[in-house]
Amino acid sequence: MSMGWSLWVMFLVVLNLGISLFLFLWGPRAKIPTLDDGTTGHVWAHGVLREGVRPLPRWWLALSGAMFVAAFAYLVLYPGFGGYSGMLGWTSHGELAQDVAANQARAESLARRLDTEPVEQLAADTQALQLGERLFGDNCAACHGVQARGNQKLGAPDLADQDWLYGGSAKDIVASIHNGRGGVMPAWAAMGEQTVKNLAQYVLGLSGAAHDAAMAKAAEPLFKATCAACHGAQGQGNPIMGAPRLNDSIWLHGGTLADIEKSIHDGRQGHMPAWASRLDKQQIQAVAAYVYHLSHSDAAAGSDARP
């Protein structure tokens, strides 16, 4: 700060504090003319309201005096009076440098853990989870939702339950994020509308939902000869192929009769992009730890969608 600016700031400080202190000391002692009834004579509302004169409460005087003491102490300890640096030698640049150094140390420590610790261990690391949550919100929430509960309209699975298309181990989750996933169920409309309806009833039966037993029985041979190649003879799914289970109440594209018929009739296609080109190894570890944490906590039980 130049000498001119320093003197200008000092002048403003002295002027403001001086005037404020003068008014503070003079105000309680000022003599205000009053009438016999103790008012100033000022009236409002046709004489209904009259201006009285009362001394300031002592607590207000004590508090205001303490504020003046604090203000003078601040100017002695910290920079604020022109070019004076203060007895403590504090500077905003110095505090910023300390904060940056502290954050850098924490970041380096976290980076080492992301490089060396397994995802299962990182899933209990508060800093790793905070980073993973931020990265998830920036990159994954558009499809999977901010709470990772999925989106059936997009065919984006719930990542906070314990049901998995491609496996829920730490290794599987990392592979899904790093390499992406692609799933295709062919359209079976060529088999005929009635066959599609029969298969939908059979799938409803596998999941334990109410269904037409006769139609389901008619579709059973076709399911075991065709659909079981991916979904399994009992509808248990196949994580290697990403074929979902059909014998539970968890649905990727919806579990109503209309949803199931549409899936069989038109087929389904799902694509999760590979994130290796956008996220580095440490970031993928952090996101995987966050997803692993969500899906392996007690709160994840009982979800109604599928990753």
112-133 burial string, b = 16+ CB within 10 Å, else e?
ebbeebebeebbebeebbebbb
| 91 vs 145: CA distance, rounded Å | 43
- 134: phi then psi, degrees, rounded to nearest 5: -65, -45
Beta carbons of 206 and 235 less than 8 angstroms apart: yes
191 is in an annotated binding site: no
168 Cβ neighbours under 8 A, 6+ residues apart = 162, 292, 295, 296, 307
Tokens of 298: 């007690």
| 12 vs 161: CA distance, rounded Å | 63
42 is in an annotated binding site: no
140 is in an annotated binding site: yes
| 206 vs 49: CA distance, rounded Å | 83
Tokens of 156: 């984006």
Closest by CA to 185, choosing from 215, 206, 165, is 165
272 is in an annotated binding site: yes
10 is in an annotated binding site: no
Distance of CA 261 to the CA centre of its chain: 36
143 is in an annotated binding site: yes
Closest by CA to 286, choosing from 128, 102, 63, is 128
Look-up of token digits 């709160």: 299
- 81: phi then psi, degrees, rounded to nearest 5: -105, 80
Look-up of token digits 């001394």: 55
1 is in an annotated binding site: no
Query: What residues form DSSP beta bridges with 270?
Result: 183
Would you call 47 helix, strand, or coil by DSSP? coil
178 is in an annotated binding site: no
DSSP type of residue 57: P
Binding-site annotation: residue ranges for heme c: 140, 143-144, 185, 227, 230-231, 272
| Residues tagged in the binding site annotation | 140, 143-144, 185, 227, 230-231, 272
